[in-house]
Amino acid sequence: MSDVKVRFAPSPTGRMHIGNVRTALFNKLLAEKLGGRFMLRIDDTDRERSKPEYEAEIRDSLQWLGFAWDEEARQSARVSRYREVTEKLLADGLIYPCYETPEELELMRKTMLAKGQPPIYDRRALKLTADQKAAYEAEGRRPHYRFLLADGEIAWDDLVRGRCRYEARNLSDPVVIRADGSYLYHLPSVIDDADFAVTHIVRGEDHVTNTAAQIRMFEAVGGRAPLFAHLPLLTGAEGKLSKRLGSIGVGQLRAEGIEAMAVCSYLARLGTSESIEPYYDLRDLAKGLDFAKIGRAQPRFSEEELRHFNTRLVHGLPYEAVAGRVNIDRDFWYAIRGNLNRVEDSELWRGICRRPVQPVAEDGELLQAAAELLPPEPWNGETFAAWTTALKNMTGRKGKALFHPLRLAVTGLEDGPELKILLPLIGRERVLRRLRGEHA
């Protein structure tokens, strides 16, 4: 085990959607590839929006995906630690109180934009006297707190984006504590990453500006900034950012019969220079992880493509991967998997082979001859060819005129696995009765 540690830090304020899954996946794959640890951190500082049911769904989704975590933490249990660090930063002048109302801040923003200026907070709160602060508090205002960004260039080598540079003067001092005393995302995240010795942070590119500010925070709390990898955000198949992506949940995918490894294989290669191929084990998928192969363009996620890819993956699923989920043996699985869209569809073919089916009699004369020529058991993969050759010689039927009526009579369906495969699974007695039109 190396000293590499990554973390997936969801906020339990909504359902786990496909974008969350992608972030968790890349963190898990990195930990697997480097022999590191994967940490689950519940970022539940938003007390009003955080819900136990959302957290339960996050945990259940991670388990279904196969993302076992080595340790965990929750931010609501670490508030005393955040206060301890905050007091030191206040004493050092790195956090300062601000008394503007949301309405005043919005007016400031609009005024700057109207003048063609970037809407950067002008640090007017730093100029307040003790009397002015007392006056604000006397009228009922409670301060929010900002982190003071030290001047100069902020730069890092991003594993996906390459060299990133920001000038601190072009960034607003981020709000770190709300007026009600609750913490925003920035500072607790940095304190946790420093305290838990997180070495790599993999997240969406919408956090790039946050990273610039947080690097300054790492310096302030005496922690070493991790390596960063910012993934391009997913877009919809229509080529633009889609709210739909924020609502596609793991529960929905599971309900549709999408395999966990289909989700992982698809997302791991989407937007990279590599082809999307089925993988059946996270460790094998992790071996090919290479951030340098992730393109800068926003990849297009398609539910329809994922469904088709899932079918492709199911066709290659080894029996060991489904043994605890299907009521069929190894030979039966390998006989039918090439005709399945979902693992659950195996139940349909188990029913056709093992339970009564209502046959469809399309050609009574042919079926009567077929019953007369039905070979004795034992049957194998050659039985169907021998049977249909004899039937062809007797009746003169061939092609669809021969095979289609047999399929309808034997299975009751228009298509499916080859009859040469199904015949031994169904057995002679059932086949004979179905050829005679009996519900068998």
Domain 80-177 top-level CATH class: alpha beta
Instruction: Give the domain ranges of the chain.
Output: 5-74+187-233, 80-177, 236-321, 356-435
| CATH T-level topology, domain 356-435 | Arc Repressor Mutant, subunit A (1.10.10)
Fold annotation for 5-74+187-233: Rossmann fold (3.40.50)
* Mean pLDDT, the chain cut into blocks of 10 residues (440 residues total): 90 91 98 98 90 95 97 96 97 97 94 92 96 95 97 97 96 96 94 97 96 97 94 82 72 94 98 96 97 95 96 97 94 92 94 92 95 95 95 95 96 90 93 95
pLDDT at residue 249, as a whole number = 85
SS3 43: coil
φ, ψ of residue 166 in degrees (nearest 5)? -140, 145
Return the DSSP state at 169. G
pTM of the model: 0.90
Contact between residue 322 and residue 333 where contact means Cβ atoms under 8 Å apart: yes
Sequence-distant (6+) residues with CB within 8 A of 417 are 335, 336, 338, 339, 349
pLDDT of 242 reads 63
Alpha carbons within 13 A on the beta-carbon side of 429: 4
- The predicted pLDDT at position 239 comes to 65
Q: What is the CATH number of domain 236-321?
A: 1.10.1160.10
Q: How many CB atoms lie within 10 A of CB 154?
A: 22
